[in-house]
Amino acid sequence: MNTPDAQRPRSELLRRIVLVLVSVVVGLGLLELGVRASTWTWLFAWPNFVLDARRVLADRDSGRTVHDDRLGYVPRDGYTAAGIAIEENGLRQTGPLLAGGARPLLAVGDSFTFGEEVADSETWPADLQRLTGRRVLNGGVSSYGFDQIVLRTETLAPLYEPQAIVVAFIADDIRRTEMRRLWSADKPYFDLDGDALRLRNVPVPPRAPARETLSFWQRTLGYSFAFDFILRRLDQLHDWYGDHIRVHPRGTGERISCLLTARLAELQKSSGAKLLLVAEYDPVVWDDPRFAAEQRRLTAGLLACGRRNGLATLDTYEAMAAAPRPRDLYVLWHMNAAGNALIARQVAAALGLKAP
């Protein structure tokens, strides 16, 4: 039988737990108000920061891209914005051709090939066109994984019958092959079946409404400016704002991407076009030695797979490292005009093409 004296310690413990919880809640509330008051603006506006970020991305992408059942999305034909013009089949404009007649060159890749942060004339495919006098088709698509890059190459090559195909990538494209969804956009992916690949998630589902992509914590903590402030200082907003769904364990993308170079080799054989596999680098490589070592390891592995399958390869690292300040070859995240011109010169030399 419990006596009043025996019950007192339990009730005292409960009171202390409640007191601690109330203190934590009050403290966090005061922290939230304090951080908001420091900016003044956010003291009177209480949006869900994650939801707003995803809506902005969805609005931008819905204007600039169109859904594609096989690739997830492609640039929208006829889209124009400051410095950007999209032509037929989602190709970015590369400018007027001064001389012609030869079969075109096809460039496929991610945002580094598309040329984010620069105008049409400042992308490396546009530079390559001026250098060689050959029509260069810019089939780059921002945020693509290496799997999507290969699938888009297989889509465009039969349409244009290019003389040569340049497939460019950064190391992060390898990681992207492990995902079913990236930045709120569903994508195709490959499963491993022994030494074979099986294409999955095709037809690719349309983009889900932004609100439906939020987790419980994003629905709640997404309203906290203090939490957003802390994650921003820790440089952790990428995954907090990003809507990514992983289908393969980390590291699986290396094997998937390696096997995908065999598909490129088959395309090279069937099309008769010389295929060049090109490695580019994001700017953090020049800021963080440990990150750079891992990126170079991933890059070297994929290039080695390409060579084993009979592809020509180009690693642009040494050419970039030879610049006085490699970091100056970027705008913010992507290559600037000078950086893209350097890449174009390297590609032209690797293809054995000279200015007319």
Residue 3: pLDDT band (50, 70, 90) is low
What's the pLDDT tens digit per position in 200-224? 999 999 998 888 888 898 899 888 8
The residue ranges of DSSP E strands in the chain, in sequence order, are 65-68, 72-75, 80-81, 84-85, 105-108, 136-138, 164-169, 179-182, 185-186, 189-193, 196-200, 245-246, 274-279, 312-315
What is the Cα–Cα distance from 172 to 146, expressed in whole angstroms? 9
List, for residues 57-114, the tens digit of each pLDDT value.
Answer: 788 777 899 999 999 999 999 999 999 999 999 999 999 886 667 899 999 999 999 9
Q: Does 254 score more than 80 pLDDT?
A: yes
pLDDT for residue 5 is more than 80: no
Q: pLDDT at position 229, please?
A: 83
Q: How confident is the model at residue 11 (pLDDT cuts 50, 70, 90)?
A: confident
- Which among 80, 83, 87 has a CA at the least distance from the CA of 104? 87
CATH value of 77-178+248-351 in 1.20.120.1690, 1.25.40.10, 3.40.50.300, 3.40.50.1110: 3.40.50.1110
pLDDT digits (tens, 9 = 90+) for 175-194: 999 999 998 899 999 999 98
Kindly tell me if the per-residue pLDDT of 308 is higher than 90: yes
Pairing of strands 185-186, 65-68: unpaired
**Residue range 305-333: average pLDDT?**
97
What pLDDT was estimated at residue 2? 52
First-to-final CA distance of the chain: 100
Residue with tokens 């008769």: 272
- Which residue carries 């891209």 as its tokens? 65
